[in-house]
A and B are shown apart, each in its own frame.
Chain A
Amino acid sequence: MQMERFRYDNAIVRNFIVASILWGTVGFLVGLWVALELIFPQLNFELPFLTFGRLRALHTNAVIFAFVGNAMFGGIYYSLQRLLKARMASDLLSAIHFWGWQLIIVAAAITLPMGITSSKEYAELEWPIDIAIALVWVAFGVNMISTIIKRRERHLYVAIWFYIATFVTVAVLHIFNSLELPVSLFKSYSVYAGVQDALVQWWYGHNAVAFFLTTPILGLMYYFLPKAANRPVYSYRLSIIHFWALIFLYIWAGPHHLLYSALPDWAQSLGTVFSVMLIAPSWGGMINGLLTLRGAWDKVRESVVLKFFVVSVTAYGMSTFEGPMLSLKNINAIAHFTDWIPAHVHIGTLGWNGFLIFGMIYWLMPKIYRTSLFSDKMANAHFWIGTLGILFWALPMYVAGFTQSLMWKDFNPDGTLAYGNFLETVTQLIPMYALRALGGTLYIVGMVLLIINVVRTVRSGELLREEEAEAPALERAYAGHKGEHWHRWIERKPLQMTFWSLVVILIGGIIEIVPTILIKSNIPTIASVKPYTALELEGRDIYIREGCNACHSQMVRPFRSEVVRYDPVHQQYSMAGEYVYDHPHLWGSKRTGPDLHREGGKYPHSWHYNHMWDPTSMSPGSLMPRYTWLYSANGRDASLNTSLTEKKLKAMVQLGVPYTEEYIANWEEELNMQAKSIADELNKDPNIKVQPREEIVALIAYLQRLGTDIKKEPALALNQP
């Protein structure tokens, strides 16, 4: 059989790994900074771009797409070439993928602190960057699939199936979640509203975890774990079931992020059922990973790479047990909106993603640099410090989550809330937040050790940019053999594999989303709910710009503890029909501060005015930062920018919001009138001097509107005292 000679491209692998280390460090440091801001709110130095609401998105995007993203591409480019016995199909596409991805990261690092955001979690980037992501993603996919087509290995190893599913699903998720109507280069509105927007968002959000942070990493696990242990995976059979069951089930689970929300009940239940079923394939995968080491556990003592892998896979098992548990309505009722969720997420990211990546880097960098790791001891120190870091991060946050939830739900014997002031439930958590910051610091110390170790390793060797290899060419006329099973046929056919993966994930996506979008009865309309005024719309955009939804939810769940706290007069929980004009929805996923959906009319304008200027003046001990840049004071001009207002109103009309032509023609007059009435009211206070056109006025207009429409609805005011 004729052997063909070719070369593996190691330079692209190196580039992605270096980028991952670099951006990872930045992402971790931003994470630590925002963690510290929750202890010392003055750390924003009253600068908008250093404030929690804006930096939180930068942190999540940096660690997900820059740290994990780059490492995953590096690992894929390394393993894919070797599993297929072929060089990447196009060096140009590899380069476009690499540099394109880095440019997107730079764009994110600039725009997010500037407050340019769509506000949709893990998809905050604005539409031009969304388009760039789609293009670069396609470059990656075309490069990968072309490589698969020109391979020299007939069958596709299971890791490659996971890579294919990753490519296909992320493409679908990204496109559908990012459908938005541009207003300007840096501003757009989601085409979906309210409940539908939330459903699409969490269909995306959950599957970003599934198909960006899980399936590609599982592919890497199936390659690098056997490689590092030098033994095949425990059960290839199990890996096949793992793959199909996982991609089939994951796509359905999104609605578990919206339990007890205004989402229709059937969709919530569907999310719960599929989430619980997910334990089976997830644990199948974990067991498969750990049992690969059966009879070889002595190697774990000696190999730091295996140590990282074992903790990583164990963290995967813990997260994937916890996830389905959190999807049960009774547990979700306790955990949702609390610090339990960040704890759960960080077991996955710090443990499962981070440690698998660190293990892979320690294994891979010496290989492509033709040398050995500079210091095993230092890597071992990283392992232990990092493990402690994870524990110090997560354990206090579990305690914080339970504490918060129990305090929210605690009633006095006379039926009043034991902790009626939300702030009491926050100040209680500050010691836990401090411990969490310590955990983050430890994790970063580990990262610094990795950087030193990698730099010294790289210096001691030389990058083998082009690695010589040879393999026999693939027979073109292969016809399979008699009685061959259909699945083996698929394993040989990359395009069919891609197609069936797409079909499998689309079934879940379509059945989950289409009915909610199509069936009017799922979202009962409420006649008294009217579109926002021009001023309120501008205020809402300020709310989005500042990332208020990072800490404040707008979803009063149907619990006595919530309706009593947030709507003491009418005791009405949030209804789907209240959000029909919310492009995008702002339900939030975490309550570091109280829910705001019934905020309108709760306090006088002056309370909000003073509170946003200095939250501790109204709520001593508050963790909320000051938002002084919303005020024209101390020489700063905070005039409301209304250059886009008309365009925004027209965009909303295109999306189905019923502004009349007359309103759009007279928007400025209406805006001025409303702004003036708020400013006049504020200026009655001798300590306040405000112009109607300041940003703070628009924000107050929006906050005072929240949840007031429903109170005008006689049929719904059931619980009126």
Chain B
Amino acid sequence: MMKYAKASMETIAGIEIFPLISLGIFFAFFLAVGWYVLRADKRHFRKMSEMPIDANETTHS
């Protein structure tokens, strides 16, 4: 199976750029998430973070 995959894709030119692209993707993504968490609504985060503790209240013993 790998033989066929190899044969058809061996010709990719400039594959060395892969690591650089990946680094770029990572930093772009990281910046986006960072931007989001810094700007997002604090009340939403507070509500989210209390979920494990809230969950207890729905139980009846």
Query: How many contacts A-B (CB < 8 Å)?
Result: 120
User: Are A83 and B52 touching (Cβ within 8 A)?
Assistant: yes
Q: A-facing mask of B22-61, CB < 8 A → 1, else 0? A: 1101100110011011111000111111111101101111
Q: Are the C-beta atoms of A266 and B16 separated by less than 8 Å? A: yes
Instruction: Tell me the minimal C-beta distance from B9 to chain A in angstroms.
Output: 5
Which of A8, A179, A236 has the most chain B CB within a 10 Å cutoff? A236
Q: Which residues of the other chain, B, contact A273 by a CB distance below 8 angstroms?
A: 23
The reply to whether B58 and A469 form a contact with Cβ atoms under 8 Å apart is: yes
Residue of A nearest to B23 (CB): A273
- Contact present for A487 and B40 (CB under 8 Å): yes
Q: Pick the contact of A8 from B5, B30, B40, B59 — CB < 8 Å? A: B59
Contacting residue for B33 out of A230, A487, A488, CB 8 A: A487
Contact status B36-A487, CB under 8 Å = yes
| Distance A493 CA – B37 CA, assembled complex (angstroms) | 18
CB <8 Å contact, B58 and A470: yes
CA distance A327 to B7 in the complex (A): 33
**Alpha-carbon distance between A82 and B53 when the two chains are bound, in angstroms:** 10
Question: Closest residue of chain A to B58, judged by CB?
Answer: A469
Kindly supply a per-residue 1/0 record for chain A positions 87-128, scoring 1 wherever the CB is within 8 Å of any chain B CB and 0 otherwise. Answer: 000000000000000000000000000000000000000000
Mark B1-28 against chain A: 1 for CB-CB distance below 8 A, else 0: 1110110011010011011011101100
CB distance A230 to B53 under 8 Å?
A: yes
Measured CA separation A486–B38 after assembly (Å):
14
Q: Scan residues 182-205 of chain A and give those whose CB is less than 8 A from a CB of chain B.
A: 191-192, 196
Interface centre among B33, B46, B56, B58 (most CB of A within 10 A): B58
CB pair A270–B36 under 8 Å, yes or no, is no
Among A397-405, A517-525, A617-625, which stretch is in contact with chain B?
A: A517-525
User: A82 near B18 (CB under 8 angstroms)?
Assistant: no
Q: Shortest Cβ distance from A93 into chain B, in angstroms? A: 22
Interface segment, A154-162, A629-637, A662-670? A154-162
Contact A83–B22 (Cβ < 8 Å): no
Q: In this assembly, does A57 line the interface, its C-beta being within 8 Å of a C-beta of chain B?
A: no
Please give, as numbers and ranges, the residues of chain A lying within 8 Å of B44 by CB-CB distance: 488
Q: How many residues of chain A are within 8 Å of chain B by beta carbon?
A: 59
Cβ-defined contact, B33 with A515, below 8 A: no
Q: Is A241 an interface residue (CB 8 A)?
A: yes
Selecting from A66-74, A209-217, A243-251, the interface stretch reads A243-251
Q: Name which residue of chain B comes closest to A244, CB basis.
A: B33
Residues of B within 8 A of A249 (CB): 26
Query: Is there contact, CB below 8 Å, between A511 and B52?
Result: no
CB distance from B57 to the nearest CB of A (A): 10
Separation of A464 and B47 alpha carbons in the complex (Å):
29
In the complex, A227→B55 CA distance in Å? Answer: 10
In the assembled complex, the CB of A312 is this many whole angstroms from the nearest CB of chain B, namely 17
Assuming the contacts A83-B51, A507-B22, asked whether A240 and B33 have C-beta atoms less than 8 A apart, the reply is yes
Nearest Cβ distance between residue A463 and chain B, in whole angstroms? 13
Q: Are A232 and B29 in contact (CB under 8 A)?
A: no
Q: Name the one of B1, B9, B22 contacting A191, with C-beta atoms under 8 angstroms.
A: B1
The minimal Cβ–Cβ distance linking B58 to chain A, given in whole angstroms, is 5
Is B19 touching A231 in the complex (CB atoms < 8 A)? Answer: no
User: Cβ of A468 and Cβ of B48 under 8 Å apart?
Assistant: no
Q: Does A370 contact B (CB under 8 A)?
A: yes
Q: Which residues from chain B contact A223 at a C-beta distance below 8 Å?
A: 52
**Do B59 and A511 touch (CB < 8 A)?**
no
CB of A233 closer than 8 Å to a CB of B: yes
Q: A85-B58, A468-B59, A511-B22 are in contact. Are A519 and B53 (CB under 8 A)?
A: no
A82: B residues at CB distance < 8 A: 52, 55-56, 58-59
Q: Are the C-beta atoms of A508 and B12 separated by less than 8 Å?
A: no
Determine whether the beta carbon of A511 is less than 8 Å from that of B34. no
Q: Which of A159, A240, A517 contacts B52 (CB 8 A)?
A: A159
Nearest residue, chain B, Cβ from A233: B49
Which B residues are CB-close (under 8 A) to A604?
A: none
> How long is the Cα–Cα vector from A227 to B12 in the complex, in angstroms?
52
Are B48 and A236 closer than 8 Å at their CB atoms? Answer: yes
Q: From B15, which residue of chain A is reached at the shortest CB distance? A: A515
Contact B51 A157 (CB under 8 A): yes
A248 and B60 alpha carbons, distance in the complex (Å): 40
Q: Which residue of A lies closest to B2 (CB)?
A: A191
How distant is B26 from chain A, measured CB to nearest CB, in Å? 6
Q: How far is the CB of A509 from chain B (nearest CB, A)?
A: 11
Contact of A248 among B3, B29, B37, B38 (CB under 8 A): B29
Q: How far is the CA of A507 from the CA of B30 in the complex (A)?
A: 14
A337 to B38, CA, bound (A): 43
A511 B18 Cβ-Cβ under 8 A: yes
The minimal Cβ–Cβ distance linking B6 to chain A, given in whole angstroms, is: 6
Tell yes or no: A226 within 8 A of B by CB.
yes
Q: Which residues of B contact A517 (CB under 8 A)?
A: 2, 5-6
Q: 1/0 per residue A245-264: CB within 8 Å of B?
A: 10011001000000000000
Per the bound structure, the CA–CA distance linking A303 and B29 in Å amounts to 40
Provide the bound-state CA to CA distance between A680 and B23, in Å. 60
Q: A153 on the interface (CB 8 Å rule)?
A: yes
Question: In the complex, what's the smallest C-beta–C-beta distance from A710 to chain B, in angstroms?
Answer: 24
B49 to chain A, nearest CB (A): 4
Q: Is the CB of A266 within 8 A of B33?
A: no
Smallest beta-carbon distance A160→chain B, Å: 10
Q: How far is the CA of A370 from the CA of B34 in the complex (A)?
A: 43
Determine if A240 and B37 form an interchain contact, defined as CB atoms under 8 angstroms apart: yes
Enumerate chain B residues within 8 angstroms of A233, measured Cβ to Cβ.
49
Assess A469 versus B52: contact at CB under 8 Å? Given A241-B33, A518-B9.
no
A368 to chain B, nearest CB (A): 11
* Contact A236:B19 (CB < 8 A) given known A191-B2, A487-B40: no
**A196 contact set on B, CB distance < 8 A:** 2
CB contact under 8 A between A236 and B49, given known A469-B58, A515-B18, A518-B12: yes
What would 9 more interface pairs be, CB under 8 Å, given A83-B55, A226-B49, A232-B46?
A: A155-B51, A157-B48, A222-B52, A226-B52, A227-B52, A241-B37, A266-B19, A488-B40, A511-B21
Residues of B bordering A, CB below 8 Å: 1-3, 5-6, 9-10, 12, 15-16, 18-19, 21-23, 25-26, 29-30, 33-34, 36-40, 44-53, 55-56, 58-61
Which 8 A/B pairs are nearest by Cβ-Cβ distance? A232-B49, A82-B55, A236-B49, A236-B45, A157-B51, A237-B37, A469-B58, A511-B18
Q: List 10 A-B contacts (CB under 8 A).
A: A153-B51, A155-B48, A192-B2, A233-B49, A237-B37, A240-B33, A266-B19, A471-B58, A504-B29, A517-B5
**Residues of chain A having any CB pair with chain B under 8 Å:** 8, 79, 82-83, 85, 153, 155, 157-159, 179, 191-192, 196, 222-223, 226-227, 230-233, 236-241, 244-245, 248-249, 252, 266, 270, 273, 370, 464, 467-471, 485-488, 491, 504, 507-508, 511, 514-515, 517-520, 656
